[in-house]
Amino acid sequence: MGMIPYSFTVTSHIAITLTLSLSIWIGVTLIGLKTHGTHFFHLFVPSGAPAALLPMLVIIEVLSYAIRAVSLAVRLFANMMSGHTLLKIMAGFSFQLFALGGFLGIIGASLPLILVFLITGLEIGIAMLQAYVFTILSIMYLNDSLNLH
C-alpha cells in the first residue's frame, strides 16, 4: 500500500511492526501452551544437553525465544523505512536539480528521476519479499511451538 502515491506505509513505523510481531509471538506462545501444557517449557531445554550446562542453555534459549518478536519487527521496519527514505532523498534531489532550471538542470534531474523509478520497482519487490519472510518466519515459529524438539 505504501508504494501507491500519497498513501502511507504503516510498516515503516516500529510501533506497528512491533505490535504485529508481538501479537504473533503471544499467539504462538499461547497455542504452544494450550497444545502441550507445561511440557511446552521443554522447548527451552535442548535435548541431550549436559546437566552442568542446563542453566546457561535455558537462559540462552529463553532469550532467543523472546528476541524473536523484536527481530521480526526490526527486520520489517528497517527494510521498509530504508527503502522509502532512499526514494524520498532521490526524489528531493531530482526536484532540486530540476528547480535550477535551464538545460543543465533538466539533464541533471533526469538521472536521479530515472533512479527513483528503478528503485520504486526494487521497493515493490522488497515489499513482497518482506511479506513472504514475515509469513514464513511466523509459520516457522508456530511449527516450533507445535512440534517441540
Q: What's the confidence (pLDDT) of residue 60?
A: 93
Q: What's the confidence (pLDDT) of residue 63?
A: 94
Q: What's the confidence (pLDDT) of residue 47?
A: 80
User: CA angle at residue 90 from 123 to 92, to 5 degrees?
Assistant: 130
pLDDT single digits (tens) 35-82: 999 888 888 888 888 888 888 999 999 999 999 999 999 998 998 888
Q: How far apart are CA 75 and CA 64, in angstroms?
A: 15
Residue 137: pLDDT band by 50, 70, 90 thresholds? very high
Q: How far apart are CA 93 and CA 69, in angstroms?
A: 36
pTM across the whole model: 0.79
Q: 14-18, 64-68, 112-116: which has the minimum mean pLDDT?
A: 112-116
- Which DSSP string do the residues of 35-89 spell out, in sequence order? HHGGGGGGGGS-TT--GGGHHHHHHHHHHHHHHHHHHHHHHHHHHHHHHHHHHHH
Q: Are 80 and 12 in contact (CB under 8 A)?
A: yes
Mean pLDDT of the chain: 87
Q: What's the confidence (pLDDT) of residue 90?
A: 87
Q: What's the confidence (pLDDT) of residue 95?
A: 84
